Copies of this chain bind each other. A is one copy, B any other.
């Protein structure tokens, strides 16, 4: 029984750290989308296409390197960036079709 309680305590402690990190991730994503919204409006204004494959390749190469340095699976960092970029492009397309 006391072993169960300490097991629960240990799990709860890990989860508090995960919750703190998730709050920080959400806040930074909010900030990132504020910037990409500006980029989207700016691209639409300048007649630039929403996606930019050359820029994306650079971002992926850089993030894979940073991930490796931080002991994060580089494959996952690439998947993560594509997940974010897909959402950004959806936003840009939506903004473009509204204008």
Point out the residues of chain B lying under 8 angstroms from A11, CB to CB.
39, 42-43
If over half of A's interface residues share one DSSP class (helix, strand or loop), that class is named, otherwise mixed; here it is: helix
Nearest chain-B residue to A46 (Cβ)?
Answer: B7
Known interface pairs A35-B21, A46-B7. Does A30 touch B87 (Cβ–Cβ under 8 Å)? no
Asked if B36 contacts A28 (CB within 8 A), the reply is no
Does any Cβ of B come within 8 Å of A5's Cβ? no
Interface members, chain A 66-95 (any B CB < 8 Å):
66-67, 70-73, 76-77, 79-81, 83, 87
- Select A26's contact among B21, B70, B87, beta carbons within 8 Å: B70
Contact with B along A30-50 (1 / 0, CB 8 A): 111111101100110010000
Q: Provide a sorted-by-A list of 17 A–B residue pairs whose CB atoms are within 8 angstroms.
A: A7-B46, A14-B35, A14-B36, A14-B42, A17-B35, A21-B31, A21-B35, A22-B59, A22-B62, A24-B28, A26-B80, A27-B70, A30-B71, A30-B72, A33-B76, A34-B71, A79-B87
